[in-house]
Amino acid sequence: MAEGSAVESLGMLASAMGGRPLVVAAIEPGQPAWTDGKTVYIDAAAKPQDRLESLAVQTSLLAVGGLEPDIVRRLARRQTVADRYLAVEGRRALSANGRLLPTSMLSRLDIDEGGNGSPAGSLAVAESRALIDDPPTTFGVIRASRLLAAHRVTAKAAAAAARHAPHKQSYDELPDLHEDLDDESAQDTDISDPFSSSVGGGGAIGKLFARLMSKVRQVGGSGPPGADAPTHSRRSATRGARAVVSSLTPASDGDGGDDIGSGGVKYPEWDVNRKRYRPDWCTVRETEARHNGEGWATPDGHALRRSLTRLGMGMSRHHRQLQGDDIDVDAAVEMRVELAAGSAADDAVYLDNLRRRRDLSVLILLDVSGSAGEAGTAGRTVHEQQLESAAALTAALHELGDRVALLAYYSQGRSAVNLTPIKRFDNRFDTAAMRRLYGLKPGAYSRLGAAIRHGTAILRERGGTPRRLLVVLSDGLAYDHGYERTYGAADARRALGEAGRQGIGCLCLTVGAATDVDELRRVFGTAAHATVGRPEQLSRVIGPLFRVALNRAETRRRKP
């Protein structure tokens, strides 16, 4: 039992190395390690070093795309080819993922970092007549049939979700939900509640009662999450239950496309149905915080600082060093003069490049949409745990000397995507910022793609450092008027990809929520992301996740 628990505790490490949410489970002693893409199965009775090697191989294969369906289909019922492929691709995957692995592991397996090639290239070698050494037993095996079966289940679930039709509400009851789409798009739009699955064990998420000037959202019913205006909340008599009451301010024509008021920045949006962008489709505004919070605790970022200390360090030139890669001419001349005068000379006459300068800027996007107000883990709402995580992470980065900004976002249609600055890059993270942060209340919707594009623009224009990182703290539920399920997930993935192509690292964190793993992957795509059960667990995975995101951005910047 103890051994099984030790294996299961590797889940966060597996997620960090695999670049996706993963769990680890024990198998019968003596059985080889394998994965179905969601769970990594490890021999709990094996030596700790062997368990880690098996975990590293299987998760690295997932991280570099070595177990994608198009590759695995060619391995089905060809066990010899699968074993040869594992021997080649396993080493390439470890090499490509080497920055996340212990040096002792790479040296023991005789593997160098920085592997080249591709899964297709490894498969071509496996199918050839080239001599290939058998893979070490710690590499485990590739179970092609299990991988393909898991992929089919995921694909069927996605197709079923796309076909699901509302059974309680008609289009007439939600007239403003798709008024910004043309007839063809409106017919294909799924307006059922995308939050029908429970978040953090809280049960069904809400029932939406439309009234003339207000809406009440109560846990336990059905209907779209959030409301059309920021909300205030109160505890109900039942512990863990939560009622959110909204005062609705009428917007001009709902989501008709015209700017509401003045100002704002327009961004395009990716239309997955037509495979093209909708230019100037969303309007993003930065709005000041309306409320100040009370009763918050000073965040303890010690564990996070320890994990992030070296990640933001850049190279700087230092004079008068005892060793280095060049001569400090001024120091060398002074040494000769002192020797000629009969004085004791200082032999620190070198120039050296040392990592002593912070060169990292981080922008944190905090999701404060209505779905964050639902019950999460540890008897607290997702919103409460995200606030704590955002505060601790911002405090840790600020104290380390990194440039850090924190903005909260929510939306009410494409013409009203609102971002509230809690801390800007050039401001201090002080008591006033903490009051703004803890004064936030969850409400409205989440047009995630527009928020990511605005955060990317701020980082690009105001980051001021060579290395830049965008951190999204969200439950992964992207939803708004005309922005449902497949459409919203595709736009969010596209926005993260755009940020990556500009040399900005992207990291997505889900804290305290139990959003489905496949749903998170559809929204966050290939960006580094992980699910953390409680805020205090963040320090265990934040270092490797930051490193993955920054390394990917560095690779893109170096490409011609």
Residuewise pLDDT in 10s, the chain (560 residues): 455 566 777 888 888 888 888 889 989 889 999 999 989 999 988 888 888 889 999 999 998 889 999 899 999 889 999 999 999 999 888 888 777 666 666 666 666 555 567 888 899 999 998 899 888 899 999 999 999 988 888 777 666 655 544 433 332 333 333 333 333 333 333 323 333 333 333 333 333 333 333 333 333 333 333 333 333 333 333 333 333 323 223 333 333 333 333 579 999 999 999 999 999 999 999 999 888 888 777 777 778 888 887 665 455 566 777 777 778 888 888 877 777 887 777 778 777 665 455 688 999 999 999 999 998 887 899 999 999 999 999 999 988 888 999 999 999 999 999 999 999 999 999 999 999 999 999 999 999 999 999 999 999 999 988 889 999 999 999 999 999 889 999 999 999 999 999 999 999 999 998 888 888 889 998 888 888 889 988 988 888 888 888 888 887 766 65
Listed residue (86, 103, 106, 84) closest to 95, CA to CA: 106
* Six-digit token string for 24: 């680890």
- Cα distance between residue 404 and residue 386, in whole Å: 17
- Cα distance between residue 234 and residue 241, in whole Å: 10
For CA atoms 440, 443, 444, 446, the dihedral sign is positive
Q: Which residue type, as a one-letter code, is found at position 399?
A: E
Q: Where do you find CATH 3.40.50.410 in the chain?
A: 166-312+359-560
C-beta neighbour count of 493 within 10 angstroms:
23
DSSP state of 270: E
- Cα distance between residue 453 and residue 472, in whole Å: 12
- Cα distance between residue 35 and residue 67, in whole Å: 9
* 276-286 and 417-423 strand pairing: parallel
The superfamily in CATH containing domain 166-312+359-560 is von Willebrand factor, type A domain (3.40.50.410)
For CA atoms 233, 235, 236, 240, the dihedral sign is positive
- Give Cβ neighbours of residue 342 (< 8 Å, ≥ 6 apart): none
What spatial distance separates the first Cα and last Cα of the chain, rounded to whole Å?
Answer: 52
- Cα distance between residue 347 and residue 149, in whole Å: 68
Listed residue (360, 336, 356) closest to 347, CA to CA: 336
- Cα distance between residue 244 and residue 444, in whole Å: 11
User: Helix 144-163 and helix 485-501: axis angle, to 10°?
Assistant: 120
Backbone angles phi and psi of 11, in degrees to 5: -60, -45
Predicted local confidence at residue 315, as pLDDT: 52
* Long-range contacts (CB closer than 8 Å, 24 or more residues apart) made by 516-520: 516/197, 517/20, 517/21, 517/38, 518/154, 518/157, 518/158, 519/197, 519/476, 519/477, 519/489, 520/21, 520/476
- pTM of structure: 0.53
In the chain, how long is the greatest CA-to-CA distance?
97
- Cα distance between residue 386 and residue 413, in whole Å: 23
C-beta neighbour count of 107 within 10 angstroms:
10
Predicted local confidence at residue 153, as pLDDT: 81
